[in-house]
Copies of this chain bind each other. A is one copy, B any other.
């Protein structure tokens, strides 16, 4: 009923349109949801971090590709018995609705970012999100965080090119707002300036 599956960085976990045989919970690693245009331009439409859920109650297929961004472990459940469980347990159905609404809110925040934010604002928002959501597991207090993707993947998430991502990271570093321990570990040095750089309402994060 329950099984673990592993994927290497770069592996495709699910293709768009493929029948969904299982639902899953992210155990470790980072995966991305992405959509592609005819000519190959791609846009990530979601990130899956540990504890996130993969699956669509009542749907037999998905409208995007799911790809392992880093090495990934999933905890999988067969779809059919899982759906039976959902039908029989209102509490679980309710929880899934909450998750769907959270994803919807996240998608809409990202629409604002993609449609209206400058490259600098996009990068600042992305860093701020990682610093908040993907806190490194050793301590909750250090601002040291993982950057779990390549510049190219970040570009596809933010609707930019990898060159622009690189330039904006280095601009924020030069200004002393962030610092890099190495290419995939960063630290927020000035959270106030970072928040200002996102373009969001000052109280946006506090209220939500």
Report A's interface with B, CB cutoff 8 A.
17, 33, 35, 37-39, 41-43, 45-46, 56-59, 63-64, 87, 90, 93-94, 96-98, 100-101, 103-105, 107-112, 114-117, 158-159, 199-202, 207-208
Evaluate contact between B117 and A114: CB separation under 8 angstroms.
Answer: no
Evaluate contact between B201 and A38: CB separation under 8 angstroms.
Answer: yes
Q: Say how many copies of this protein the assembly contains.
A: 2
Residues of B within 8 A of A97 (CB): 57-58, 93, 96-97, 100
Q: Closest Cβ of chain B: how far from A67's Cβ, in Å?
A: 15
- State A104–B105 Cα separation when bound (angstroms): 9
Evaluate contact between B58 and A112: CB separation under 8 angstroms.
Answer: no
7 A/B residue pairs, CB under 8 Å, sorted by A: A35-B112, A37-B201, A59-B101, A64-B108, A93-B93, A93-B94, A115-B158
A-B residue pairs, 7 tightest by C-beta:
A115-B159, A114-B114, A107-B107, A45-B108, A43-B115, A114-B115, A43-B112
Chain B minimum-CB-distance residue to A121: B37
Residues of B within 8 A of A114 (CB): 111, 114-115, 159
Q: Closest Cβ of chain B: how far from A87's Cβ, in Å?
A: 7
Evaluate contact between A39 and B115: CB separation under 8 angstroms.
Answer: no
Residues of B within 8 A of A201 (CB): 37-38
| Extra pairs beyond A104-B104, A114-B159, A115-B158 (12, CB < 8 Å) | A35-B111, A35-B112, A37-B201, A41-B116, A43-B116, A56-B101, A58-B97, A103-B104, A107-B107, A107-B111, A111-B114, A116-B159
Evaluate contact between B45 and A111: CB separation under 8 angstroms.
Answer: yes
Evaluate contact between B116 and A63: CB separation under 8 angstroms.
Answer: no
Residues of B within 8 A of A101 (CB): 56-59, 100
- State A64–B200 Cα separation when bound (angstroms): 13
Residues of B within 8 A of A108 (CB): 33, 35, 45-46, 63-64, 107
